[in-house]
A and B are shown apart, each in its own frame.
Chain A
Amino acid sequence: MSEAREQILGTLRRSLKRGRLDAGRRAELEARLAAHRRNLVPARAAALDHAGQVELFVRMAEEVQTTVARVASAAEVPAAVADYLSQRNLPSRLVMTPDPQLDGIPWSERPMLEIRRGRAEDADQVGVTAAFAAVAETGTLMLISGPDSPTRNNFLPDTHVVVLRRDQVMASYEEGWSRLRAAQGAGALPRTVNFITGPSRTGDIEQRLELGAHGPRRLHIVLVDDGAAS
């Protein structure tokens, strides 16, 4: 290991007036890491039942300029997407991640939607992705990267449409970590986890809020109420 590393750690221990931690203390700290103990989780979402959490999620998301369309089942998603795009005069050509979560949706019933499955490029104006989960507390989406969900699709297109199932809505970030550990194994995070709360914005010019700084100008969630995946 590098000389700088040893020197930094050495100075640090001298400042703390001790040497390397002994085995007992290290074991305690290892145990602390492994326990994944939750600190205080605010009651705002945690105190609600799941239906309440879904309502809170929608309210908090809308507060930060996310738009939400609610549909009864996966079968209604294509129409909801098509309506959203046409109402805003947005292009009907879209790039969709190859995420299997989106496979069971009957996209072909809306032939006007011109869909390309794959990685987003600069020219793509509209993107559709699936979500890993959503956090009611702050109206936040949780998206993860993987072979079928490239990160850039969350940022390059001007309009980002996210398909979210009702059963993916959770109270807190902490529940998100538990779900992620269950899905991927403890400590084995995907390359990228994106928490997204509203469309891109900046306050850098005279502290006035402007949407669409570098990421999407519009964030639209299609919330599928029947819960179960296709």
Chain B
Amino acid sequence: MQPTSHAFKANAHQALGNANLQKALGLMRSGFPGRRAAALARLPEFEALREQGKALKDHVLENLDFYLETFEQNVIARGGQVHWCRTPQEARETVLAICRRLDAKTVTKGKTMIAEEIALNDYLEQHGVTPVETDLGEYIIQIRKEYPSHIIAPALHLVKEQVAESFRRTHRDLDPDRTLEEAPTLVAEARAVLRQKFLAADVGITGANFCVAETGSTIIVTNEGNGDLTQTLTKAHIVLASLEKVVPTLEDLSTLLRLLARSATGQEFSTYTTLSTGPRRPEDTDGPGEFHVVFLDNGRSAMLGTEFQDMLRCIRCGACMNHCPVYATVGGHAYGWVYPGPMGAVLTPTLVGVDEAGHLPNASTFCGRCESVCPMKIPLPKMMRHWREREFERRLSAATYRYSLRLWAFVASRPPLYRAATALASRLLGWIGRPRGRFRSLPLAGGWTQGRDMPAPEGRSFMSLWAERRKTAP
């Protein structure tokens, strides 16, 4: 998809006026954070697990080539194949080639953010293969021709009336008299339609939450069971994964699984955690005949060793966006690409360029809540600041803003000048503003005073009053 991250402000403006979105975001605010907190309260070891998970991922990143090669060897040993792709284009071509070889007409898909990153659906459609999203949220946004607004809850931006409307429009066999007002009937409708798609599909594509080097297994974590039907009933199972998903052993996997569901949805464990190792065995009566792991780099190998390396610890739980006050105000689509919220503000500039996505690392109050809930302890604000430094060096921010900042810094690094300026400003603003105690509008502060007052200064600067007190003191 074409990113619209450069239009973040306009996107956000629209989002603020979108009543359905605001209602949906309200449900998120009252949902995810409380459920996560409750799950953590039940597990006294959570903080220790977090430390271990972080150390584990750091260990993997330092030895990533070894673990990737080991994983590959074990996939091959179990009869599967690994495809290495530098770019989204290489990954799309790899998937299409497999589909064509198997003469696939339709492919079912479990939720995969890598497929979103490489815009796989559009590509397959253009080449005569019909992709069918099977995660309910992904399915809803597919029929609405949208992209996910949240990495674990793709249709979080919608309310049920919008889902009902979309089903009525696209499900041709749907009885017009049937009521679709409540979530259970919507879920049942989607289940019935998608069951037929599962049975008819030729190829199943899933993502991977983790890849275990020791065994060559890929892991998906879902609640619906769609990923399992996707990968079990088809001729081939294609797994899309980025390089940093590999973990050493099943024991290491267990540690990360304990962190993932609790951080994501506040569940003790997701309903389905599935390990897939190679294709079906000769004596098996079901399972895919082929097993392909498509590894996507897309710039990640170059992130190692930079100030953005820590981002590669991310396990895509979504806790950062669930707790982000900016995300909770504007929603995921304002960010203009597939990864929203704090993790997107760090990752998107690496993947689509800081010229396109420069707003994202700026659109944060640095409140730090994202870092405080991240199970991998990724210093998200710090990395957003790194992007701001790069932007400042490259003069990408607005010129007026930069000049004002430099002027302020010039004054602030000259104490006597600064002292004179603040004494004057507080007297002037205090004199004008004191009768009411606040300003309803103020030159150069229109953004602030449009929706709120600006409290007036008391009338004298602290430093000038302090100097007086010192003089008069005995």
Contacts and interface: CB of A to CB of B under 8 A. Distances in A.
Given A42-B43, A151-B286, A193-B275, A210 B229 contact: no
B156 interface: yes
A189 B250 CA distance: 11
B304 A195 contact: no
Given A15-B306, A16-B304, A119-B285, A206 B27 contact: yes
A205 B163 contact: yes
A38 B187 CA distance: 40
19 contacts: A8-B297, A15-B303, A16-B65, A36-B214, A39-B49, A39-B52, A138-B269, A147-B281, A187-B214, A187-B215, A191-B279, A191-B287, A196-B271, A198-B271, A205-B160, A207-B153, A212-B188, A212-B191, A213-B223
B269 A172 contact: no
Given A43-B45, A212-B191, A200 B285 contact: no
B228 interface: yes
B254 A39 contact: yes
Interface residue tally of chain A, by bracket? 35 or more
A52 B86 CA distance: 51
B62 interface: yes
Contacts of B78: 189
A64 to B, nearest CB: 7
B265 interface: yes
B281 to A, nearest CB: 6
Contacts of A227: none
Interface string B292-311: 00010100011111100000
By CB atoms of chain A within 10 A, which of B137, B186, B225, B272 has the most?
Answer: B225
B159 interface: yes
Interface string B30-73: 01100000000001110011001000100000111111111000
Given A40-B52, A60-B268, A9 B183 contact: no
A36 B283 CA distance: 29
A212 B43 CA distance: 28
B112 interface: no
Interface string B210-252: 0001110100000111101100110000000001000011111
Nearest to A148: B285
B70 A33 contact: yes
Contact of A200 (B74, B194, B224): B224
A212 B194 CA distance: 13
Contacts of A29: 63, 66-67, 248
Main secondary structure of the interface of A (DSSP, over half): loop
Contacts of A159: none
A197 B65 contact: no
A201 B271 contact: yes
Interface in B266-284: 267-281, 283-284
Interface string A132-148: 00000011100001110
B311 to A, nearest CB: 13
A10 B215 CA distance: 24
A110 interface: no
Given A60-B268, A196-B272, A205-B160, 16 more contacts: A16-B305, A21-B66, A25-B66, A33-B214, A33-B249, A39-B56, A64-B267, A138-B269, A140-B273, A151-B287, A173-B257, A188-B215, A205-B163, A213-B191, A213-B226, A214-B194
Interface residues of B, number: 103
Contact of B84 (A5, A150, A197): A5
B78 to A, nearest CB: 8
A20 interface: yes
A155 interface: yes
B27 A40 contact: no
Contacts of A150: 284-287
A4 B223 contact: no
A197 B221 CA distance: 11
A202 B136 contact: yes
Interface in B337-393: none
Contact of A203 (B153, B258, B280): B153
B249 A42 contact: no
B98 interface: no
A140 B269 contact: yes
Contacts of B268: 60, 63-64, 138-139, 197
A192 interface: yes
A39 B252 contact: yes
Interface string A152-165: 10111000000000
Interface in B141-159: 153-156, 158-159
B224 A9 contact: no
Interface string A1-36: 010110111011101110011000110010011001
Contacts of A78: none
Contacts of A202: 136-137, 187, 223-224
Nearest to A120: B286
Contact of A12 (B190, B233, B250, B301): B301
A230 interface: no
The 3 nearest A-B residue pairs measured at CB = A215-B225, A213-B224, A204-B137
A174 interface: yes
Given A13-B65, A206-B159, A189 B24 contact: no
Contacts of B223: 200-203, 213
Contacts of B64: 12, 16
B242 to A, nearest CB: 11
B119 interface: no
Given A5-B84, A200-B223, A32 B153 contact: no
B85 interface: yes
A29 B183 CA distance: 49
A192 B184 contact: no
A190 interface: yes
Given A2-B84, A154-B228, A204-B137, A9 B52 contact: no
B134 interface: yes
A172 B254 contact: yes
Contact of B229 (A155, A195, A203, A204): A155
Given A15-B301, A147-B284, A21 B63 contact: yes
Contacts of B449: none
B195 interface: yes
Contacts of B287: 145, 150-151, 191-192
A16 B62 contact: yes
